[in-house]
């Protein structure tokens, strides 16, 4: 089997998970070259690496470069991305700098791997919430077109990064000990609280945040549905890993819960967990550390014609980021694009 030289830019929560996913899936990596702001010796996912300082020359000789930003991360791919492409490297970017760039495919391999066929050397990973939501929605949309979505997300702190994970743990310990709670990663206490703002306000969508806008524009691009209507509310919740989403769907024609369950049971990367009488439904604790998006609470939405409601949960660091990026590289190899 042909071997590939893989670069990784960033070794936070997502970067660490990318190393784990590459090893778990036996990706044919001849080399994993980790780049960060400064050179150093670092243990990443249990392995020792000589981290090199990021520079244009550091990308020379690589086949793939995976940029490992967390939610809303900007900057690294702006600085190095297209220069790396010019050096013959395929860039797969988890940040949001180029997701809506017409030159850049926005890809969830189970849904629109064909978008890779016309790549220009740069591919974008969608936002974690978009990935988790579209994994169950795309199979339904292919069967019966979706006209409108109302999405409420319950997003874990790992989407912000390691500092937020540490802060939730520290605040929980402080609360239990009756000590003063310190705030740093978020403007307010996150332990035992919910923060209904993720990202900055968008001028192009008055009243909506950047995270909420991504649900609209990224979904339209991935599904090829420019007229899709989406209203979303994105909330940070005191959960370490896995994002949850309550989704209300309006279809162009009827879709029964039974039809939806049958379609979703056959969808790759989706697991139906839907037996409410026996207490079976998707939960973050069950999705954390796993690759599948769990879907349940599938039921009619009688507030609208041709309506359906469901609840989806997926690990935002794995399928919402690291796994999806590695799957893009695998799909490109499989399709003979690298």
pLDDT higher than 80, residue 70: no
Residue % of the chain over a pLDDT of 90: 93
Cβ pair 147, 250 in contact under 8 A: yes
Q: What is the pLDDT at residue 203?
A: 86
* pLDDT (tens digit per residue) in 202-214: 888 999 999 999 9
Rounded to 10°, the helix 257-265/128-143 angle is 110
d(CA 47, CA 45): 6
Under DSSP, the state recorded for 51 is E
Q: Is the pLDDT of residue 71 over 60?
A: no
pTM of this structure = 0.96
Alpha-carbon separation of residue 312 from 129, 196, 197, 292, 298 (angstroms): 10, 19, 20, 10, 10
CA–CA separation, 324 and 269 (whole Å): 11
Q: Residue 76: which pLDDT band, with cuts at 50, 70 and 90?
A: confident
> What integer is the mean pLDDT of 94-103?
94
Q: Which CATH class is domain 130-315?
A: alpha beta
What is the pLDDT averaged over residues 100-120?
Answer: 97
Q: Which residues are catalytic?
A: 128, 243
pLDDT at 226 exceeding the cut of 70: yes
Domain 4-125+321-334 class, CATH top level: alpha beta
Q: Where do you find CATH 3.40.50.720 in the chain? A: 4-125+321-334
Q: Is the pLDDT of residue 321 over 70?
A: yes
pLDDT attached to residue 31: 97
As annotated, the residues of the chain forming the CATH 3.30.360.10 domain(s) are 130-315
Region 204-225 average pLDDT: 96
pLDDT at 204: 85
Provide mean pLDDT across the span 78-105: 96
The pLDDT tens digits of the residues spanning 20-36 come to: 999 999 999 999 999 99
Rounded to whole angstroms, the Cα distance separating 311 from 317 reads 19
- pLDDT confidence band for 175 (50 / 70 / 90): very high
Give, rounded to a whole angstrom, the gap between the first and last alpha carbons of the chain: 13
């Amino acid at each position: 089997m042909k071997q590939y030289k893989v670069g990784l830019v960033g070794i936070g929560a997502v970067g660490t998970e990318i190393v784990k996913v590459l090893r778990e899936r036996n990706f044919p990596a001849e080399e994993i070259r980790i780049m960060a702001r400064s050179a150093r010796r670092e243990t990443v996912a249990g392995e020792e690496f000589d981290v090199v300082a990021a520079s244009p020359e550091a990308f020379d000789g690589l086949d793939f470069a995976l940029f490992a930003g967390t939610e809303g991360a900007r900057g690294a791919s702006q600085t190095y991305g297209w220069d790396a492409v010019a050096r013959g490297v395929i860039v797969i970017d988890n940040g949001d700098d180029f997701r809506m760039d017409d030159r850049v495919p926005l890809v969830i391999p189970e849904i629109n791997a064909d978008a890779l066929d016309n790549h220009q050397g740069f591919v974008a990973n969608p936002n974690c919430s978009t990935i988790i939501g579209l994994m169950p929605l795309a199979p339904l949309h292919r069967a019966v077109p979706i006209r409108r979505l109302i999405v409420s997300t319950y997003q874990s702190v790992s989407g912000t990064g390691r500092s937020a994970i540490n802060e939730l743990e520290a605040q929980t310990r402080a609360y239990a000990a009756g000590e003063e709670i310190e705030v740093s990663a978020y403007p307010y206490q996150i332990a035992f609280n919910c923060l209904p703002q993720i990202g900055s306000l968008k001028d192009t969508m008055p009243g909506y945040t950047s995270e909420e806008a991504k649900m609209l524009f990224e979904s339209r691009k991935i599904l090829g549905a420019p007229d899709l209507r989406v209203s979303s509310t994105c909330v940070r919740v005191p959960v370490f890993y896995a994002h949850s989403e309550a989704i209300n769907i309006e279809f162009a024609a009827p879709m029964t819960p039974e039809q939806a369950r049958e379609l979703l049971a056959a969808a790759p990367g989706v697991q139906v967990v839907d037996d409410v009488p026996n207490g079976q439904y998707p939960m973050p604790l069950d999705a954390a550390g796993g690759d599948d998006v769990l879907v349940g609470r599938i039921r009619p939405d009688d507030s609208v014609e041709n309506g359906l409601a469901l609840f989806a949960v997926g690990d935002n660091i794995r399928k919402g980021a690291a796994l999806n990026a590695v799957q893009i590289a695998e799909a490109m190899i499989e399709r003979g694009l690298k």
